[in-house]
Structure 1
Amino acid sequence: MARRPRSRRRSMPTAHRYERTDRVGTLVRSVVASEMERLDEAFEGVVITGVDVDRELTLAVVHYDVRDPDDDDAAAAAFDEHHHRLQRALGARTSLRRTPTLRFRRDYSAVEAERIDDLLAGIAAERDEPDEPDER
């Protein structure tokens, strides 16, 4: 009686090589960005810098930045005003079992990076200045 060769278990190929939270974050970002374009002119200078989704997929924190710092209050007010519309659009345009609750936070990383660049430029300028000669 001939033995049948053992079959090796093959690992199932995964369609995606990254976390589900990352995929949901990308989906949230695209839906919110497209809805922002439709809703209000106050979103005109707003850029979504990232979306953090928790492991349970119940909360999505949308990080945004504004091009003009004077528009910060207008952008925050627009997010407050249109929060429910953005949440509803996310539920309608996705096929998620549970739609994550949206939260909006200003992302200050670009402002902080610019401040660090200014500090480093100041240090470099101080090093490049020649020492003043002693007067005799």
Structure 2
Amino acid sequence: MAGTNPRAARIAALIQRVIASNMEMQLHDKRLANVTITEVRVTNDLQIARVYWTQLGHTGKEEGERQRAKQALEQAKGRLRSLVGAKAGLRLTPQLQFVFDEVPGEATEIEDILAVARKRDEELARARETAQYAGDADPYKHPEERDEDDDWDDEDDDDWDDAEDEEPETESAESEADGSEAAESEE
């Protein structure tokens, strides 16, 4: 609330109670009908009190209503400060600064965004229930499904065996041919 000064925190709470209760009872201004004091922060030297306010039921987009409420608070600033001084019993009453609190409006916007996200998630969940894979459910091979021959196909193994069989025959045929030529040359 007010930093580390516990006295400033107590005074801030007192100022909030006094202003909130007297806005309805003492001021009788229709422009302040929906105004709520959300927080009060007092500086550690107790010189300035920032009074945060908002309008209930409004998202903050009604700029005209907000301006009228701000003018009413500024006009009532002196009277509210006198009431705070009388109730608080302080030697020096803090100056009041009224600040529009943006947090409730932003919270409403965030809630709206989250509601849209939840709705999209529900739609996706419904779509997932009826969805099917375009191909196999699991298109990847797993180690336990792997062939023992690793990268070689069974059909390729037969061709390879045939190729191995042919090579020794050609070598022996060549060596026989070389041997017959050598025999002829000896004669």
Q: 2:53 aligns with which of 51, 61, 64?
A: 64
Residue 93 of structure 1 corresponds to which residue in structure 2? Answer: 87
Distance in structure 2 (CA, Å) of the matches to 1:95 and 1:101: 15
Matched, 1:122 2:109: no
Taking the aligned partners of 2:14 and 2:49, their CA distance within structure 1 comes to: 11
| Aligned equivalent of 1:52, options 41, 44, 49 | 41
For residue 36 of structure 1, report the CA deviation from its aligned partner: 1.0
Q: Unpaired runs of 5+ in structure 1?
A: 1-17
Amino acid in the other structure paired with 2:14: L
- 1:124 and 1:31 map into 2 onto residues whose CA distance is 41
Q: Give CA-to-partner distance per residue, 1:86-124, whole Å, 9 cap, x none.
A: 112222232112111100011111111111111111111
Letter in 1 for 2:10: R
Taking structure 1 as reference, are residues 55 and 33 closer, same or farther at Cα in structure 2, changes over 3 Å only? same
Are 1:34 and 2:21 matched, yes or no? yes
CA distance in 1, matches of 2:56, 2:21: 18
Partner of 1:22: 9
Give, in whole Å, the separation in 1 of the partners of 2:23 and 2:121. 46
Residue aligned with 1:55, SS: coil
Q: Percent identity?
A: 32
If the length of structure 1 is used for normalisation, what is the TM-score? 0.77
Query: Which structure has greater strand proportion?
Result: 1
2:101 is equivalent to residue 107 of structure 1: yes
CA RMSD across the alignment: 2.0
Take 1:120 and 1:33, find their aligned partners in 2: how far apart are those partners?
A: 32
Higher relative contact order (CA 8 A, sep 6+): 1
| Structure 2 unaligned residues grouped into runs of 5+ | 133-187
Give the aligned residue type for 1:23: R
Going by fraction, where is helix more abundant, 1 or 2? 2
Counterpart position of 1:43 = 32
Secondary structure class of the residue paired with 2:39: strand
Bigger CA radius of gyration: 2
Counterparts of 1:95 and 1:79 in 2: how far apart (Å)?
23
Aligned length: 117
Letter in 2 for 1:50: E
1:133, distance to aligned residue in structure 2 (A): 6.7
Deviations 1:3-61 (A, max 9, x none): xxxxxxxxxxxxxxx81111101111122122211212222111110100111111100
